[in-house]
Amino acid sequence: MDESELAGRIVRMPESGIREVFDEAATYDDVADLSIGEPDFTTPEPIVDRVDDRVRSGATHYTPTQGRPDLREALSAKLERENGISADPETEVIVTPGAMGALFEAIHSLVDSGDEVVIPEPYWPNYDGHVASAGGTVVPVETDPEDGFVPSPEDVADAITPETKLLVLNTPSNPTGAVIPPATLEEIAAVVDRAGVWCLVDETYESLVYDDAEHHSIASDPETFDRTLTVHSFSKAYAMTGWRVGYVSGPSHVIDSIRVLQEHTVSCVAEPAQEAALAALSEPELLDDVREIFDRRRSLLLEELEAVPGLSPVEPAGAFYVFAEITGTDRDSRSVVMQLLEDEQVAVVPGGVFGDSADSYVRLSYATDEETIREAVDRMRRVFESFS
């Protein structure tokens, strides 16, 4: 089919480079997979049990576009308790189809043709698709591995122009695991405020922070709240990727715009998924169990990587990824990743997918069992040894 027949806003959306690795990996048997971005376990029993029960008693209907009122009440209470964000459940919170839906809808509510969107790099590639289809342009801001990939407020300020509409932050970060410290976030909030631009904060991995790293929500400051949309998700921390439920909090006029967009696209999040979210909110201790599992795996992966020559990990403070620099060869990340697949059937994601400045890195996910982590690193070691 002739591409010119398709709407420009869709043709402009780049496909995520992560897909290419999945597709290639699917052509091999016995892959040791460190490319995945979701927990390897299924949704905890108490959540599934409650949904089972509620679906049998009739939770099978359309709900208000914005989400069920009892869920919005529970989300507002969680935002206040865990994030220090005061959001009115009636007007300042909306339940969305995952963080993905939230980000798409938020970006389409704020970004117009010709607008610039500043994003610290390396960053999750789906932001590119959302900004492109809204007609905007991404302005990447490089971050430094020496600073653990935490963006510098000065560099963010320098990237802002009269065309800038929005700054997107992701903390903890996919792919680097960087957690932006509270003081840095406050400096960035001051930059955003001075420039009069909007801020969209993706806190999908909020509960996965380790050691002494602290997750902080900048919208906890009431003045910053007025120019900030904060995105959360049930996917990663509760092993609920398949339920597709997340939420956005922010000023009522933007939440209302998101509601209209959502009315015309998905109507509402599936009611069983909203029940699952309610159940998850009543089981906060699950978050500690999951965090402990990932923390153990993080230590294991970092320890195992010490045996791999020519690969230098940057210790992550959050999420479930290790970003590691390829120092053993000058080749770009994609060609190294394809060789890892071909020679040893180990799947990782090329850093180049997360921005040009990250093309000498690979992303390794530890959202998988310990045996797979050991096996995958052993296979990687054999390939990296062949470079020297």
Catalog residues that contact ligand PLP under the rule CB under 6 A: 37, 98-100, 124, 170, 174, 202, 204, 233, 235, 241, 246
Residue-wise burial string across 56-95, b where 16 or more C-beta atoms lie within 10 A, e elsewhere: eeebeeebebbbbeebbebbbebbeeebebebebeebbbb
Residues 6+ away with beta carbon under 8 Å from 75: 67, 87, 89, 93, 95, 247, 249, 277, 281
Taking the complex as a whole, the smallest distance from the CB of residue 387 to ligand PLP amounts, in Å, to 29
Nearer residue to ligand PLP within complex by CB, 37 or 250: 37
- At residue 104, what are phi and psi to the nearest 5 degrees? -60, -50
Residue nearest to ligand PLP (CB): 98
Taking the complex as a whole, the smallest distance from the CB of residue 201 to ligand PLP amounts, in Å, to 11
Taking the complex as a whole, the smallest distance from the CB of residue 15 to ligand PLP amounts, in Å, to 15
Nearer residue to ligand PLP within complex by CB, 95 or 311: 95
Taking the complex as a whole, the smallest distance from the CB of residue 100 to ligand PLP amounts, in Å, to 3
Q: Is 145 exposed, middle or buried (0-12, 13-18, 19+ CB in 10 A)?
A: middle
Taking the complex as a whole, the smallest distance from the CB of residue 195 to ligand PLP amounts, in Å, to 24
Structure tokens at 258: 């998101």
DSSP string, 251-279: -HHHHHHHHHHHHHHTSS--HHHHHHHHH
Question: Measuring CA to CA, which residue among 370, 360, 356 is closest to residue 299?
Answer: 370
How far is Cα 237 from Cα 280, in angstroms, rounded to an integer?
10
Taking the complex as a whole, the smallest distance from the CB of residue 5 to ligand PLP amounts, in Å, to 30
Q: Give the max Cα distance, the chain.
A: 63
Taking the complex as a whole, the smallest distance from the CB of residue 386 to ligand PLP amounts, in Å, to 32
Nearer residue to ligand PLP within complex by CB, 105 or 202: 202
- At residue 9, what are phi and psi to the nearest 5 degrees? -65, -25
Is 177 within 8 Å of 170 (Cβ atoms)? no
**CA distance to 126, 128, 330, per residue, from 333 (Å):** 19, 19, 9
Nearer residue to ligand PLP within complex by CB, 124 or 361: 124
Taking the complex as a whole, the smallest distance from the CB of residue 177 to ligand PLP amounts, in Å, to 11
Nearer residue to ligand PLP within complex by CB, 76 or 171: 171
Nearer residue to ligand PLP within complex by CB, 143 or 174: 174
Nearer residue to ligand PLP within complex by CB, 89 or 177: 177
Nearer residue to ligand PLP within complex by CB, 43 or 174: 174
Is 101 within 8 Å of 266 (Cβ atoms)? yes
Structure tokens at 326: 């390829």
